[in-house]
């Protein structure tokens, strides 16, 4: 456990020694802020419109959760899909290219400790990314009359974190198969995107196959959480998804050693 923490700390430091930490955090805030601003703005126009046209029933159906927070979460998910592979791309690829992997592999560390340490560092970074976006719900709580409900916000964030963890595990795998960071980024991005949109043909396919595709989709699993439906199957899905990719990464690293 101590060793995992030592590796994680080293990685976390290196995000902020290189520009990558600052670039990712600031661009992520700019883009997510843009999404938030536009949803809040649209909500405002809708409220004004229905008030002017005196339709109290419709007006009552408007709420900040459905019209601002849920769509924003959907977009944050898409942003994570792009940004997280950029965070993970160097984690193992760079160790291979700089040959520092020889140091790690000849130190008294288990390969699993190296992988989990690096994974933990991404999770902490992900928490920072999501932490920055917490400003938006806070704004809604301060200025919204009535404000949003808090439970769907909490479950939504938990969902974002879990999907982020899944993307990070895929990104880590992509980083383990190459020495080239660009290749790692492309593979990580494509794989996580694939799991994001894998359910697209589900309605057309239908039947069991359609159910499977729906079940595999990172996006589909997230929708429930964003609306405060907590389903243990979803948590099992996320945990086994991450575990599977970390396990494959472990195999790849051990294989690299034998070669």
Using CB under 8 A, list all residues that contact another protein: 3, 6-7, 10, 13-14, 17-18, 98-110, 257-259
Of the pair 10, 42, the CB lying nearest another protein is at 10
Give the whole-angstrom CA distance, residue 201 versus residue 194: 12
> In the complex, what is the shortest distance from the CB of residue 16 to another protein, in angstroms, rounded to a whole number?
10
> In the complex, what is the shortest distance from the CB of residue 98 to another protein, in angstroms, rounded to a whole number?
7
* Collapsed DSSP state (helix, strand, coil) of residue 229: coil
Q: What single string gives the DSSP state of each residue in 181-207?
A: HHHHHHHHHHHHHHHHHTTTTHHHH-H
Q: Which two tokens stand for residue 182?
A: 């660009």
Q: Which two tokens stand for residue 203?
A: 């309605």
Contact yes or no for 3/115 (Cβ under 8 A): no
Give the whole-angstrom CA distance, residue 221 versus residue 215: 7
* Collapsed DSSP state (helix, strand, coil) of residue 177: coil
Give the whole-angstrom CA distance, residue 68 versus residue 59: 15
Of the pair 1, 17, the CB lying nearest another protein is at 17
Of the pair 61, 107, the CB lying nearest another protein is at 107
Q: Say how many residues make up the chain.
A: 259
Give the whole-angstrom CA distance, residue 52 versus residue 134: 32
Of the pair 19, 201, the CB lying nearest another protein is at 19
> In the complex, what is the shortest distance from the CB of residue 250 to another protein, in angstroms, rounded to a whole number?
16
> In the complex, what is the shortest distance from the CB of residue 91 to another protein, in angstroms, rounded to a whole number?
13
Give the whole-angstrom CA distance, residue 193 versus residue 217: 10
Of the pair 11, 36, the CB lying nearest another protein is at 11
Of the pair 97, 235, the CB lying nearest another protein is at 97
> In the complex, what is the shortest distance from the CB of residue 9 to another protein, in angstroms, rounded to a whole number?
9
> In the complex, what is the shortest distance from the CB of residue 118 to another protein, in angstroms, rounded to a whole number?
13
Choose among 80, 7, 9, 17: nearest CA to 253.
7
> In the complex, what is the shortest distance from the CB of residue 95 to another protein, in angstroms, rounded to a whole number?
9
**DSSP class of 158:** H
Of the pair 109, 124, the CB lying nearest another protein is at 109
Q: Which two tokens stand for residue 101?
A: 């992997």
Give the whole-angstrom CA distance, residue 97 versus residue 74: 36
């Amino acid at each position: 456990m101590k060793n995992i923490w030592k590796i994680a700390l080293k990685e976390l430091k290196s995000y902020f020694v290189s520009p990558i930490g600052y670039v990712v955090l600031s661009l992520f805030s700019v883009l997510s802020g843009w999404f938030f601003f536009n949803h809040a703005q649209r909500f405002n126009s809708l409220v004004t419109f229905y008030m002017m046209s005196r339709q109290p029933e419709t007006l009552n159906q408007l709420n900040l959760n459905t019209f601002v927070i849920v769509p924003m979460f959907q977009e944050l998910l898409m942003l994570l899909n792009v940004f997280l592979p950029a965070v993970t791309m160097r984690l193992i690829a760079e160790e291979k290219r700089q040959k520092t992997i020889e140091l790690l592999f000849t130190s008294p560390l288990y390969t699993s400790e190296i992988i989990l340490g690096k994974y933990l560092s991404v999770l902490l970074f992900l928490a920072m990314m999501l932490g920055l976006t917490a400003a938006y719900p806070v704004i809604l709580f301060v200025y919204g009359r009535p404000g949003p409900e808090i439970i769907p916000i909490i479950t939504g964030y938990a969902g974002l974190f879990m999907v982020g963890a899944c993307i990070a595990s895929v990104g880590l795998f992509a980083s383990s198969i190459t020495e080239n960071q660009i290749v790692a980024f492309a593979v990580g991005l494509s794989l996580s995107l694939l799991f994001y949109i894998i359910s697209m043909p589900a309605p057309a396919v239908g039947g069991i196959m359609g159910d499977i595709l729906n079940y595999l989709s990172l996006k589909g699993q997230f929708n429930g959480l964003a609306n405060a439906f907590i389903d243990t199957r979803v948590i099992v899905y996320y945990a086994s998804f991450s575990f599977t990719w970390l396990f494959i990464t472990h195999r790849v690293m051990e294989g690299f050693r034998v070669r």
